[in-house]
């Protein structure tokens, strides 16, 4: 059974805590008595999150960081040791939406940036914090993939690639850790359409209005309950379970036709037959 005091006095590190689900994790966990180690690339947004936390004595430490920067991760780990002498849970929440263009229209630089943040940033976080997590009698590693870690959608080849890669990495890691450090729970989260700020560009405005509808507090509360239940795969949010089962049950030809309906939400200029990406 999930309990409201489960996280009391546990040290929880959260990336991307300046907005969206990261902010929701922070406020929900603070209300449950957790000690928080918060980071975000936007220092002002991070300060705004801290201002929303209930006043308490359990402790909050913050750091502005880019998760794609290894040195930042090392400093974040040092902050955990200096402020709290360790860490019980790492929530790898930080992510970006990607180029929001078809594969032929996006640049190698855009692909690299998406992979650096959404995939390699998480990998670096896992590797950096594993010594802290394995030192605890109980700990949890929570990696945020997406339902786009199940399916490839139009205008999201770089984003889907990063989330598919994260899914594979995390599924392997959970098998490996169960063999040598079974006290470290590993959770792979596949949010559906959650109302966050990840979709910020004009290109994705239609998508955001129609798809990102589940409140972030609701999504994060479900994740925290499922962590207590030690559920390794957490699928929740608008269209999440439907997408999961369609990816499992539909032949790829039918799935491709279904996903093509999403083309009506994208910029048709990128889908000209004479686009420069075909030259």
- Name the active-site residue from 25, 159, 169, 236: 159
- How is residue 262 written in tokens? 């999403």
159 is annotated as an active-site residue: yes
Please, which residues bridge with residue 233 across strands? 188
Residue 256, C-beta contacts closer than 8 angstroms, at least 6 positions apart: none
Torsions phi, psi for 244 (to 5 deg): -55, -50
Catalytic annotation, residues: 159
């Amino acid at each position: 059974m999930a309990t409201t005091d489960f996280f009391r006095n546990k040290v929880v590190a959260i990336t991307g805590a300046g907005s969206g689900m990261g902010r929701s994790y922070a406020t929900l966990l603070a209300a449950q008595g957790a000690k928080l180690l918060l980071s975000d690339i936007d220092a002002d947004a991070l300060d705004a999150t801290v201002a929303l936390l209930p006043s308490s004595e359990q402790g909050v430490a913050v750091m502005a960081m880019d998760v794609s920067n290894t040195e930042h991760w090392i400093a974040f780990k040092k902050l955990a040791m200096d402020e709290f002498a360790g860490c019980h849970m790492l929530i790898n929440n930080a992510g970006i939406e990607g180029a929001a263009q078809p594969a032929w229209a996006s640049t190698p630089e855009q692909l690299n940036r998406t992979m650096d943040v959404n995939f390699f940033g998480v990998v670096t976080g896992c590797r950096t914090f594993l010594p802290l997590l394995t030192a605890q009698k109980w700990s949890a590693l929570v990696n945020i993939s997406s339902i786009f870690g199940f399916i490839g959608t139009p205008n999201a080849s770089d984003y889907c690639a990063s989330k598919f890669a994260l899914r594979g990495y995390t599924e392997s890691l959970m098998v490996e850790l169960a063999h040598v450090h079974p006290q470290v729970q590993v959770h792979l989260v596949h949010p559906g359409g959650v109302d966050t700020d990840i979709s910020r560009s004009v290109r994705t405005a239609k998508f955001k209005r129609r798809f990102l509808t589940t409140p972030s507090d609701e999504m994060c509360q479900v994740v925290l309950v499922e962590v207590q239940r030690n559920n390794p795969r957490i699928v929740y949010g608008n269209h999440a379970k439907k997408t999961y089962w369609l990816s499992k049950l539909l032949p790829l030809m039918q799935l491709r036709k279904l996903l093509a309906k999403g083309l009506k939400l994208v910029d048709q200029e990128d889908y000209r037959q004479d686009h420069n990406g075909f030259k």
